[in-house]
Copies of this chain bind each other. A is one copy, B any other.
């Protein structure tokens, strides 16, 4: 397992250590002749740069750490694509860490990345405290995505969840619904804003008396349980707005279990527009978060700090859109209040 070093490459090529280093870093001022010599020696030995030594000496890693709140949530997994594409272009490698849906899990991954001295960190859907993240920002460039923030220290990229939630409610109201319940996302990222958007929109429509929120947690089972709670009430909702697609799927199942038809008896609207919602078997009406764009913007912000030395924080909001699929429909007159 002992790996060849530059020293050995140098000896084999009959040149100095420094020359090998120059070749490995694609330096311009090296004669073609010696460059070939070095390259051949390296290939013969199966030399591979030791990134630990390189990073230690150069004081930079060209590596970005991405910590996902939950690798199982398609929303976070889909943000990765934009991040990876953008960093590939910029010449950075990206390492992924799983936060295991807990603040401590996220904190551990951030600590690990800091110990590795990564050049930057993107935290997707962080549930850990903002102050902990700010503490980490003393050591590296860090931007949060999918979570609102007004921090003076770190950048954020986020969907305008308040208006996203409003879109969901507006859509349902247009379809004639009044008894619109909300399954929220508990303490998850974005849950608070969606809750607020829901309440505001209901109030604006003169439906403040109909506001009903059941507690969820961004998981399918959480959505199932929350829907149970909603169905057992005397005044069953004719429509449910769930804080994300996963919980919408859970609610959908619970409603169908009760012998009700979606959307005829109950309309359901999700949030995120993940691949799950797009699955045609589900075909969930939902609020789209432009995941690729979120990822790319996050990358742009860390690059701005890295290359342009920007120091003031920026908070970017992207606009959600409603995706009308098959789980929502006009309220049938028989079911009206």
Which A residues contact B (CB, under 8 angstroms)?
1, 3, 46, 48-53, 55-56, 61, 71-72, 74, 77-78, 80, 84, 93, 95-98, 100, 111-112, 114-117, 138-140, 220, 224, 249, 252-253, 256-257, 275-276, 279-282
Contacts and interface: CB of A to CB of B under 8 A. Distances in A.
Nearest to A119: B1
Given A72-B78, A138-B46, A279-B220, A95 B93 contact: no
B48 A114 contact: yes
A49, A117, A279 — most chain B CB neighbours (10 Å) = A279
Contacts of A280: 224, 253, 257
B117 A50 contact: yes
B96 A275 contact: no
Contact of A281 (B55, B95, B100, B249): B249
Contact of A117 (B52, B97, B111, B114): B52
Given A220-B275, A220-B279, A281-B282, 7 more contacts: A46-B138, A48-B115, A50-B56, A52-B117, A71-B80, A96-B98, A253-B280
Contacts of A140: 1
Given A3-B117, A52-B117, A252-B281, A96 B71 contact: yes
6 closest A-B pairs by CB: A96-B96, A51-B115, A253-B280, A52-B56, A253-B281, A52-B52
A50 B114 CA distance: 8
A72 B282 CA distance: 18
A112 B88 CA distance: 13
Contacts of A253: 279-281
Contacts of A78: 72
Contacts of A95: 95-97, 112
Copies in the complex: 2
Given A50-B117, A80-B98, A140-B1, A72 B74 contact: yes
A17 to B, nearest CB: 16
A77 B84 CA distance: 17
Given A253-B280, A281-B253, A139 B1 contact: yes
A92 to B, nearest CB: 11
Most chain B C-beta atoms within 10 Å of own C-beta, residue among A52, A53, A55, A112: A52
A24 to B, nearest CB: 11
Contacts of A51: 112, 115-117
A211 B96 CA distance: 42
A268 to B, nearest CB: 11
A15 B249 CA distance: 60
A78 B72 CA distance: 7
Contacts of A97: 95-96
A165 to B, nearest CB: 23
A74 B224 CA distance: 20
Nearest to A252: B281
Contacts of A224: 280
B3 A139 contact: yes
Contacts of A55: 52
Given A52-B117, A56-B56, A84-B98, A256 B281 contact: yes
A139 to B, nearest CB: 6
27 contacts: A3-B117, A48-B111, A48-B114, A48-B115, A49-B115, A50-B115, A50-B117, A51-B116, A52-B116, A52-B117, A71-B71, A71-B77, A71-B80, A72-B74, A72-B275, A77-B77, A84-B98, A95-B96, A96-B96, A96-B97, A96-B98, A220-B279, A224-B280, A249-B279, A252-B281, A253-B279, A253-B281
